[in-house]
Structure 1
Amino acid sequence: MIEVKDLHKSFNGVEILKGISTTFEKGKTNLIIGQSGSGKTVFLKCLLGLFNYESGSIAYDGNVFFNLTEDEKRNLRAKIGMVFQGSALFDSMTIAQNVMFPLKMFTKQSKSEMEDRVNFVLKRVNLDNAHNKMPSEASGGMQKRVAIARAIVNNPKYLFCDEPNSGLDPKTSIVIDNLIQEITDEYQIITVINSHDMNSVMEIGEKIVFLKNGLKEWEGSKETIFKTDNEAVTDFVYSSNLFKKVRKMYIDENS
């Protein structure tokens, strides 16, 4: 479990996170949502240990990050997988080399062991024959699957995804959402996804944390988000006519 308690973060005297408390459990897809400027990205970077914060705490399975020694922090980082918004693949490396990169950085495996692991994860994301392609030869959806393969190659306990569907068409977005959820459940990973995509929320939102102006305005699931009377949440969720219709259908079916 990742446990966040009363987290505060400021930049140049301006408070961005204003006392956020929540938990993220293993085997669940946990989504952080909110409008631009709500604090989502800052919150995610605090969770990753990239930003210091003024007060509060973040504990990974009971271990408060900033109480750890440098060696302990390195060991924790080796257990973290990250899918970046733009995939962040190395242009000069093949797909197989991109996926192998974390193994070279964090393990002492032999070349054959690393190759076996790369083969396994590429097959898991349905890229069996893509090893020798360059990122420039891959579609956007393919690059995202490579990024997911790289993120899970070290058998992480924690998986973070920053806008994993950014720039993808709706059909490919659903494929990526389902892949992330399958991997989360299969390997019982603690997965935290930063997203503004309501389709992702409704597809895989087992735990949803809604931020507004640096505060946790609401949390729940994709089922309970339809039932909330929180005005900030309903304004965000039902800003399109599509989701207004979906909500009405859901209420009618469950009334």
Structure 2
Amino acid sequence: MIEVENLHKSFGDAHILKGITTTFDKGKTNLIIGQSGSGKTVFLKCLLGLFSYESGSISYDGDVFSNLNDDEKRNLRARIGMVFQGSALFDSMTIAENVMFPLKMFTKQSKSEMEDRVNFVLKRVNLPDAHNKMPSEASGGMQKRVAIARAIVNNPKYLFCDEPNSGLDPKTAIVIDNLIQEITDEYQITTVINSHDMNSVMEIGEKIVFLKNGLKEWEGSKDTIFKTDNASVTDFVYSSNLFKKVRKMYLDENS
């Protein structure tokens, strides 16, 4: 579990995060959503330890990040997996080498142990024969699956995903969503996803935190988001005519 308490972050005179308090639960897909400029990217980078913050706290299973020494922070980072928006694979490395990279950085495993682990995670993301391909030979969906394999190769306790469906067609996006949810449930990871994709929200949004102007405007689940009367949430969620129709059908069925 990740616990956030009264988090404030500024850049100069710009107050970006304005006292956010929330929790992200273990074994659940936790989504951060909001319009551009809402603060969700800054929030994610604070959670990752990439940005410092002026006040408040972030705790990982009871360990307050700001209280950790350098070695403890390194140990925490070794337990974090990250899926970047553009996959961020190393072009000069094969897919197997990309996936092995965190093992070389954070573990003292033998080469055979690392190879066994790489084989396991590539098979888990349905890429059992992709080891020797270069990233340029892989489709966008394959690259996302490689990025997920790399993120989980160290058996992390925490998984962060920044717009994991960016640039994917709707069918492939659903495959990636389902894979992230399956892995989260299977390994009981605390997963936090930064997203603007309402299809992802409705597909895997077990916990949703909606930000607006640096404030937590609303939180709930994919089920309760249909019931909210919060105007900011409904304006964001139902900007698409499709979701307006879905909400009407839901309310009619449950009235």
TM-score by length of 1: 1.00
CA offsets 1:136-156 (integer angstroms, 9 cap, x no match): 000000000000000000000
What secondary structure is seen at the aligned counterpart in 1 of 2:208? strand
Cα shift at 1:12: 1.2
The alignment yields a C-alpha RMSD, in angstroms, of 0.3
Cα distance in structure 1, aligned partners of 2:13 and 2:69: 28
What secondary structure is seen at the aligned counterpart in 1 of 2:142? helix
Cα distance in structure 2, aligned partners of 1:149 and 1:250: 36
What secondary structure is seen at the aligned counterpart in 1 of 2:155? coil
Cα distance in structure 2, aligned partners of 1:101 and 1:123: 17
Corresponding residue of 1:197? 197
CA offsets 1:121-150 (integer angstroms, 9 cap, x no match): 000000000000000000000000000000
Cα distance in structure 1, aligned partners of 2:131 and 2:176: 19
Cα shift at 1:72: 0.2
Cα shift at 1:102: 0.1
Cα shift at 1:22: 0.1
Cα shift at 1:233: 0.1
CA offsets 1:36-76 (integer angstroms, 9 cap, x no match): 00000000000000000000000000111011000000000
Q: How many residues align?
A: 255
Cα shift at 1:189: 0.1
CA offsets 1:174-230 (integer angstroms, 9 cap, x no match): 000000000000000000000000000000000000000000000000000000000
Cα distance in structure 1, aligned partners of 2:209 and 2:202: 13
Cα shift at 1:241: 0.5
Cα distance in structure 2, aligned partners of 1:253 and 1:178: 26
What secondary structure is seen at the aligned counterpart in 1 of 2:66? helix
Cα shift at 1:254: 1.2
Cα distance in structure 2, aligned partners of 1:173 and 1:209: 21
Cα shift at 1:119: 0.1
Percent of paired sites with the same residue: 91
TM-score by length of 2: 1.00
Cα distance in structure 1, aligned partners of 2:21 and 2:200: 23
Cα distance in structure 1, aligned partners of 2:7 and 2:27: 24
What secondary structure is seen at the aligned counterpart in 1 of 2:53? coil
Cα shift at 1:253: 1.1
Q: Give matches, 1:40-189, under 5 Å.
A: 40-189=40-189
Cα distance in structure 2, aligned partners of 1:240 and 1:177: 20
Cα distance in structure 1, aligned partners of 2:14 and 2:24: 27
Structure 1 moving runs of 4+ over 2 Å? none
Return 5+ residue gaps in structure 2 as ranges.
none
